[in-house]
A = this chain, B = another copy of it.
Amino acid sequence: MPVNLTAPQASSLLPVRGVKLGFSEAHMRKANRKDVLVMTLVEGSKVAGVFTLNQFCAAPVILCKDFLAQKPGVRALLVNTGCANAGTGEDGLNRAKQTCDALGNLLHLQANQILPFSTGVILEPLPVEKVIAGLPAAIANLKEDNWLHAAEAIMTTDIVAKGTSRQIQLGGKTITITGISKGSGMIHPNMATMLGYIATDAAVSQSALESIIHYAVNKSFNCITVDGDTSTNDSLILMATNLAANAEITEASKDFITLRDALTEVAIELAQAIVRDGEGATKFMTVTIEGGRDVAECRKVAYAIAHSPLIKTAFFASDPNLGRILAAIGYAGVERLDVNALKLYLGEVLVAENGGRALAYQEEQGSAVMKEQEILVRVDLARGHASCTVWTCDFSYDYVKINADYRS
């Protein structure tokens, strides 16, 4: 069950002026579920995207990057679940393109004004005819207050729909931000079968939007991991419709930071929701590394801990087998680490120092922390001032079950 995560109320996902969402049941893989999503953007909207670094990136990712580079004025997004259209070569590109052509014909847009996204099984051909057959129904129900339906339409192994909204004031105008995400396995920094869509009605320059998306992704989706796998299809899209009547935000605006931080908060909440819904998750772990020489070495240690199946199974069992954490710190690859100087904390409890168990530490203290659903692992490397935080979940029987059975 997801860790402290429930689906948002439909009413809590605020409409963003200029963004409409429509969905349909196209029987992509299973019956009776929404599996095609169409989003439309009012003319003049600005769009920025970041995508997986996986070299086997999916056909829709290749098209998205290509279309965004053409600066065609993106006016619609098309998402399907059930098939990732990845590992599909030239044929996959043609199929993704066909779906854009079809939606373009229906909406009177050029194909390159439509960004395509797919998530699901890799290495299978996209059933183009099913996607296309689903488009008229999706277009017919395009509405501004369909965000919850949209969040549901992009789910795969997700247990709960993920979405959140914020409102802020910029220059006396109320700005709305709403975002949705999906993903629960194959989650890793640099993202992984993770889709995220965040829209705002703020007026923002293209350059500021690009700056914000890179800042936000590094503070959010690039700080989560479920199983260390980086997917072929990860995409995060940030959209601004310019309808809020605020003065256009540029990187020089005094309100730039306000907007950036609000969008980043939404990205963090959506990213953490993915971990909370991690396949088989029963615990939400925050791994914070402090006192590093640079952020890179902090991240090495954080991910050594967050990826270790031995540590993740011990957390599942609420077993304070802390030696496994020390072992992970030891093999993380930090040069000339002084194992006698570092300190390891579980929650507020000092667990290890001077190269071994802290003298005052009692196993009951560790057990008490391990029984919580939200656990902080903190390491002070005691060699500098850099820090980082990574979020992950534990590793349970259900992780194996879900991933052994995924295609059956």
The interface of chain A, by Cβ under 8 A from chain B, is 53-57, 84, 86-92, 121-125, 185-186, 188, 190, 227-232, 307-310, 313-314, 316-317, 319, 321-324, 326-331, 334, 337, 339-340, 352, 354-357, 395-397, 399-401, 403-408
A interface, over-half SS: loop
Q: How far is the CB of A92 from chain B (nearest CB, A)?
A: 6
Contact indicator B232/A330 (Cβ below 8 Å): yes
User: Nearest chain-B residue to A88 (Cβ)?
Assistant: B356
Contact indicator B327/A230 (Cβ below 8 Å): yes
Contact indicator A229/B309 (Cβ below 8 Å): yes
Q: How distant is the Cα of A401 from the Cα of B400 in the complex, in angstroms? A: 11
Contact indicator A56/B400 (Cβ below 8 Å): no
Contact indicator B407/A122 (Cβ below 8 Å): no
List the 7 closest A-B pairs by CB distance, nearest first.
A122-B323, A56-B330, A89-B356, A317-B404, A123-B323, A89-B355, A313-B403
User: Nearest chain-B residue to A233 (Cβ)?
Assistant: B327
Q: How far is the CB of A273 from chain B (nearest CB, A)?
A: 20
Contact indicator A323/B84 (Cβ below 8 Å): yes
Contact indicator B123/A356 (Cβ below 8 Å): yes
Q: Which of A55, A84, A88, A125 has the most CB of B within 10 A?
A: A55
Contact indicator A322/B229 (Cβ below 8 Å): no
**Contact among B84, B319, B326, B400 for A316, CB-based, below 8 A:** B400
Residues in B neighbouring A352, C-beta threshold 8 A:
87, 123
Contact indicator B54/A327 (Cβ below 8 Å): yes
Residues in B neighbouring A313, C-beta threshold 8 A:
399-400, 403-404
Contact indicator A89/B354 (Cβ below 8 Å): yes
- Given A232-B327, A399-B309, verify A404-B56 contact (CB < 8 Å): no
Q: How distant is the Cα of A122 from the Cα of B407 in the complex, in angstroms? A: 38
Q: How distant is the Cα of A340 from the Cα of B56 in the complex, in angstroms? A: 9
- Given A57-B330, A229-B328, A400-B399, verify A319-B89 contact (CB < 8 Å): no
- Given A54-B327, A232-B330, A319-B404, verify A88-B357 contact (CB < 8 Å): yes
User: Nearest chain-B residue to A342 (Cβ)?
Assistant: B56
Q: How distant is the Cα of A352 from the Cα of B89 in the complex, in angstroms? A: 10
Residues in B neighbouring A326, C-beta threshold 8 A:
56, 86-87, 122-123, 232
Q: How far is the CB of A317 from chain B (nearest CB, A)?
A: 4
Residues in B neighbouring A92, C-beta threshold 8 A:
355-356
Q: How distant is the Cα of A356 from the Cα of B397 in the complex, in angstroms? A: 32
